[in-house]
Amino acid sequence: MTQHTPPALRICPACDGFASVAITTGGRDPRGHLRTITAHCPACHGTGTVTARRVREGAGA
């Protein structure tokens, strides 16, 4: 019996798959840890992948 492979996920072109990053604010808390904020890619909402778009045949330019 053959195995069905799922379709490959498309990597987000805006972030190249690196959807979330931690950015230091430059300060430290009383324990000495760096203060960071998390930023997510606005195109893929932090998932790193996008859904495939269907291309309609015969669509005019």
Q: Output the pLDDT for position 53.
A: 65
Q: Output the pLDDT for position 59.
A: 55
Q: Output the pLDDT for position 32.
A: 92
Indicate yes or no: pTM above 0.75: no
How many other CB atoms sit within 10 Å of the CB of residue 55?
A: 6
Could you report the average pLDDT of every consecutive run of 10 residues in the chain (61 residues)?
74 88 91 93 88 60 52
Give the DSSP per-residue string, 1-61: -PPPPPPPPEEPTTTTT--EEEEEEEEE-TTSPEEEEEEE-TTTTTSSEEPPPPPPTT---
Q: Output the pLDDT for position 45.
A: 87
